[in-house]
Amino acid sequence: MFSNNFGRNAVALATVVATSFMIWFGSGLNPWWPLLWFAPLPVLLFAARSSLRGAALTATISWLAGSLNMWHYFSAVLHIPLAILAPILAVPALAFAGTVLLFRALLRKSALWSALLAFPATLVSFEYLLNLASPHGTAGSLSYSQLKCLPVLQLASITGPWGISFLMLLFSSSLALGLHLRRTAPGQALRIAGAGTGVLALALIFGAARLAAPTPQQQVRVGLIASDLPANVGIADEGAETARLFRDYAGRIEELAAAGAQVIVLPEKLGVVADPGDEAANAVFQSLANKTKSTIVVGLLHVTPSARYNEARIYSPGAQELSYDKHHMLPPIESMLRPGTTLALITEPSGTWGMAICKDMDFTPLSRQYGKAGAGLMLVPAWDFDLDRLWHGHIAVMRGVESGFSIVRSAKQGYLTVSDNRGRILAEARSDSASFATLIAVAPAAHDATLYLMLGDWFAWFALAALAFSLAQLYRPRNPRGAQKMAARNHR
């Protein structure tokens, strides 16, 4: 009895170590993308042979331990209180455990194909519903671990982030079922594993073909500027400090314009501009736009007698400035700011340009609105937290793949990034690479129609339907033939 318990506990511990290791390094701020494809596999194999309690504990601990890779970021960088941080980490772990238990229950009822679909469908349904309820939108999606795997990333143009998460999890569940059934039902094992790898192969073929498509001819020469100097990285105070910072940026704008930049993007919330009396800021950048013949995008904090706005302004040569107010605020830091409700679009010879601010790009609906308006180039002032410069800075890249536009994103404490509508990083520089870091690149500006743009979150609804179907299988009579095979395997 002791040896049996010791053996089971050793296997459970090995399972926790293997899965949590792959989640830790396969997700989070700097993910190594191949790991997350295999991360659930040890837990699924363990759950197939363990007790209900053992499967639940192992799954919960594995996911929770792997998710602690975000602890320092959440607690020390974002300063999230423990009372809020605990459920942020615990709820996904419990959702993962519930998903594993559903997989186990369907497997024991010999509903093998339902088990195959239930695992990805349940977690993708959780991701989608969390996205609807959370102030952070899609930020928790597993799909962002795959941003460097460009062929897989192209799936976002059809399904949004939901299809990428589904594909990874389907691969894990197909391997788990194939390995579990390889001795008792080798033919079935081969069919199920083949289905998972076959879907992956189709996705990779589609991705390769989409990446090979010719680049559009409409292109824009873009410039980006950001400064992480201690005096510049915060929000400059109203008056002299903001005026000084605007002058410093103005000098770099002239340099980029002289180098041929047609549009120049500055970061989010550079300084405070208050009503009445904000004409000075408009005068500085409007005169620069007229002088250089470049379009200039400036992020600032706009204070009015009735409200405060996280605002970006576009100054075009010989035209009235256009403003955009950020839609999605970062709680609690921006909870006192009033969200915007409208889009900002300008029509240029190269096509339609749109504007968003930082966290706005964590949400698919706003990006789809710009895509439906025909935007081929998005101009995005931003402000990251240094540690998350790669993760949060590149979340925006997926929006371009989904809704068919290139992105020019200039972030303090982050990256200056130019990406195209295939998710390729065309040019990038760290904002702390110089006292005023600058970047010039050529970005495609033609809009690309995508299936996701037309149909929206259809795949998330497919996942919800697949989950409902899988749950219904729990109440169907057990397959006698499958039950006999399962009993024989357990006896062995």
User: What percent of the chain has a predicted confidence (pLDDT) above 90?
Assistant: 89
Measured CA angle at 273 (ends 271, 278), to 5 deg: 140
Nearest to 253 by CA among 277, 210, 224, 228: 224
Strand partners, 249: none
Rounded distance between C-alpha atoms, residue 286 and residue 320, angstroms = 8
* Domain boundaries of the chain, sorted by first residue: 2-212+457-491, 219-447
> Are the beta carbons of 327 and 350 closer than 8 angstroms?
no
DSSP 8-state secondary structure symbol assigned to residue 74 = I
Rounded distance between C-alpha atoms, residue 172 and residue 48, angstroms = 13
Rounded distance between C-alpha atoms, residue 349 and residue 391, angstroms = 33
pLDDT for the residue numbered 484: 54
pLDDT for the residue numbered 187: 94
User: For 292-305, how does the pLDDT look when each residue is reduced to its tens digit (9 = 90+)?
Assistant: 999 999 999 999 99
Helices (H), 109-185: 112-133, 150-153, 156-159, 161-181
User: What percent of the chain has a predicted confidence (pLDDT) above 70?
Assistant: 95
Rounded distance between C-alpha atoms, residue 208 and residue 225, angstroms = 33
pLDDT band for position 6 (cuts 50, 70, 90): low
pLDDT of 7 higher than 80: no
pLDDT for the residue numbered 215: 81
Question: Average pLDDT in the 208-219 region?
Answer: 91
pLDDT band for position 469 (cuts 50, 70, 90): very high
Q: How far is CA 316 from the centre of its chain?
A: 31
Rounded distance between C-alpha atoms, residue 469 and residue 114, angstroms = 8
Across the chain, mean pLDDT equals: 94
> Are the beta carbons of 36 and 145 closer than 8 angstroms?
yes
User: For 157-177, how does the pLDDT look when each residue is reduced to its tens digit (9 = 90+)?
Assistant: 999 999 999 999 999 999 999
Measured CA angle at 394 (ends 392, 399), to 5 deg: 105
Q: How far is CA 481 from the centre of its chain?
A: 44
pLDDT for the residue numbered 476: 79
User: For 319-361, how does the pLDDT look when each residue is reduced to its tens digit (9 = 90+)?
Assistant: 989 999 999 999 999 999 999 999 999 999 999 999 999 999 9
Strands 308-315 and 322-325 turn out to be antiparallel
The phi, psi pair for 187, rounded to 5°, reads -65, -45
pLDDT of 492 higher than 50: no
pLDDT for the residue numbered 364: 98
pLDDT of 378 higher than 90: yes
pLDDT for the residue numbered 9: 84
pLDDT of 491 higher than 50: no
pLDDT for the residue numbered 479: 58
User: For 59-75, how does the pLDDT look when each residue is reduced to its tens digit (9 = 90+)?
Assistant: 999 999 999 999 999 99
pLDDT of 56 higher than 60: yes
Residues 371, 377, 379, 385, CA torsion sign: positive
**Model pTM score:** 0.93
Report CA-CA distances (Å) from 320 to 315, 446, 484: 7, 24, 77
Quote the radius of gyration of the chain (alpha carbons, Å).
Answer: 25
DSSP secondary structure, 408-462, as one string: EEEEETSEEEEE-TT--EEEEEETTSSTTEEEEEEEE------HHHHH-SHHHHH
- The region that residue 323 occupies, defined by phi over 0 for left and psi between -120 and 50 for alpha, beta otherwise, is beta
pLDDT for the residue numbered 488: 52
pLDDT for the residue numbered 277: 62
Sheet holding 425-430, edge to edge: 345-348, 351-355, 375-383, 406-412, 415-419, 425-430
Question: Average pLDDT in the 102-130 region?
Answer: 97
Strand partners, 315: 296
Strand partners, 411: 382
The total of other beta-carbon atoms located within 10 Å of residue 443's CB is 26
Rounded distance between C-alpha atoms, residue 282 and residue 311, angstroms = 13
DSSP 8-state secondary structure symbol assigned to residue 349 = T
Tokens of 31: 């993910």
> Are the beta carbons of 172 and 44 closer than 8 angstroms?
yes
pLDDT for the residue numbered 279: 74
- What one-letter code names the amino acid at 70? M
pLDDT for the residue numbered 2: 46
If one compares 196 and 283, the residue with the highest pLDDT of the two is: 196
Rounded distance between C-alpha atoms, residue 397 and residue 402, angstroms = 9
The enclosing H or E element of 326 equals: none
Question: Average pLDDT in the 22-40 region?
Answer: 97
pLDDT band for position 280 (cuts 50, 70, 90): confident
> Are the beta carbons of 161 and 141 closer than 8 angstroms?
yes
Q: What is the CATH number of domain 219-447?
A: 3.60.110.10
Question: Average pLDDT in the 373-401 region?
Answer: 97
Rounded distance between C-alpha atoms, residue 26 and residue 239, angstroms = 46
User: For 413-461, how does the pLDDT look when each residue is reduced to its tens digit (9 = 90+)?
Assistant: 999 999 999 999 999 999 999 999 999 999 999 999 999 999 999 999 9
Name which of 77-86, 206-215, 270-279, 437-446 the model is least confident about.
270-279
pLDDT band for position 276 (cuts 50, 70, 90): confident
Strands 406-412 and 375-383 turn out to be parallel
